[in-house]
């Protein structure tokens, strides 16, 4: 069976399209974050695919909502013994240290979060969240130094911002790229994929054939990295944390 693939953006949704030797179109929503995939007969027009997605939009949104709710990480209470991840590695949280200042460090397989003695769970969470953001920002310069010359593009601004359904986003008009701080919990290969993905959008806004061709050319294993990233859920959102960098 021969296949071809492409990408579309429909009503703000990124849609993977796979053309197959089949008779009918099929729309699927995949875990963990609700990736939308359309399997379409070989000669189906782009307009027909867009119309089918729009007609099923309510169903797609319900499926995505259910998946995202089901795949949130277990609520973190920020107590010693919990499991947390840093750059794809598993650590056990220890909050037994108190200090006059807020601090986070990894040692062995332990993630130490030190806070003043009267700090509550929300305060410990904010301390860790700020540290994840700093970790992400610290590795960005080397990635940009590597990839911006290769891709022959330059982003004017990077913002670390918590997003409910996206790992990254590109605002091409302002040449601004947003990155989810949750990426600091994942394998560094995943962050590199997102950075390349969003930088490529400065050359190609959509997810069509040109975008796919650029990704294939510059990061041939991008699909494997994408799948590795999407196998893990987005983190549990709590404590009313800020979306700002």
Q: Which residue has the tokens 């394998």?
A: 187
- DSSP E strands, the chain: 3-10, 13-20, 26-30, 35-41, 83-86, 89-94, 103-107, 110-114, 157-160, 168-171, 176-179
d(CA 205, CA 175): 11
Same domain for 59 and 99? Answer: no
- Is 244 part of any domain? no
CA angle 179, 180, 182 (to 5 degrees): 140
Indicate the pTM of the whole model: 0.71
d(CA 12, CA 228): 23
- Is 151 part of any domain? yes
71 confidence band (pLDDT: 50, 70, 90): low
Model pLDDT for residues 101-145, shown as the tens digit of each residue: 899 999 999 999 999 999 999 999 999 999 999 999 999 999 999
Does residue 133 have a cis bond before it (omega within 30 degrees)?
no
Same domain for 22 and 142? Answer: no
Least confident of 109-118, 185-194, 234-243: 234-243
Same domain for 44 and 88? Answer: no
Q: How many domains are there within the chain? A: 2
149 confidence band (pLDDT: 50, 70, 90): very high
pLDDT at 231 over 90: no
- Concatenated DSSP letters for 15-36? EEEEEES-SS-EEEEETTTTEE
Same domain for 63 and 180? Answer: no
Same domain for 162 and 111? Answer: yes
Same domain for 62 and 178? Answer: no
pLDDT at 73 over 80: no
Least confident of 40-49, 69-78, 94-103, 157-166: 69-78
Residue 213's domain comprises 83-230
Same domain for 160 and 212? Answer: yes
Q: Helix crossing, 46-55 with 57-70: angle to 10°?
A: 70
């Amino acid at each position: 069976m021969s296949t071809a693939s492409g990408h579309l953006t429909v009503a703000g949704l990124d849609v993977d399209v796979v053309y197959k030797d089949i008779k009918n179109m099929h729309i699927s929503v995949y875990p963990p974050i609700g990736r939308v995939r359309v399997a379409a007969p070989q000669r189906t027009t782009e307009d027909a695919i867009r119309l089918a997605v729009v007609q099923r939009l309510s169903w797609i949104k319900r499926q995505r909502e259910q998946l995202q709710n089901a795949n949130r990480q277990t609520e973190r209470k920020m107590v010693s013994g919990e499991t947390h991840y840093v750059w794809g590695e598993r650590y056990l949280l220890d909050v037994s240290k108190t200090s006059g200042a807020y601090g986070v460090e990894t040692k062995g397989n332990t993630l130490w979060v030190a806070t003043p003695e009267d700090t509550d769970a929300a305060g410990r969470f904010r301390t860790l969240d700020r540290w994840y953001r700093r970790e992400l920002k610290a590795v960005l310069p080397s990635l940009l130094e590597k990839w911006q010359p290769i891709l022959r593009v330059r982003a004017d601004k990077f913002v670390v911002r918590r997003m409910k359904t996206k790992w990254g986003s590109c605002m091409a008009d302002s040449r601004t790229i947003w990155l989810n701080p949750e990426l600091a919990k994942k394998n560094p290969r995943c962050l590199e994929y997102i950075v390349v993905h969003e930088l490529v959008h400065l050359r190609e806004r959509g997810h069509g054939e040109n975008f796919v061709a650029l990704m294939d050319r510059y990061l041939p294993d991008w699909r494997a990295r994408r799948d590795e990233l999407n196998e893990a859920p987005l983190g549990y959102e709590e404590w009313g944390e800020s979306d700002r960098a």
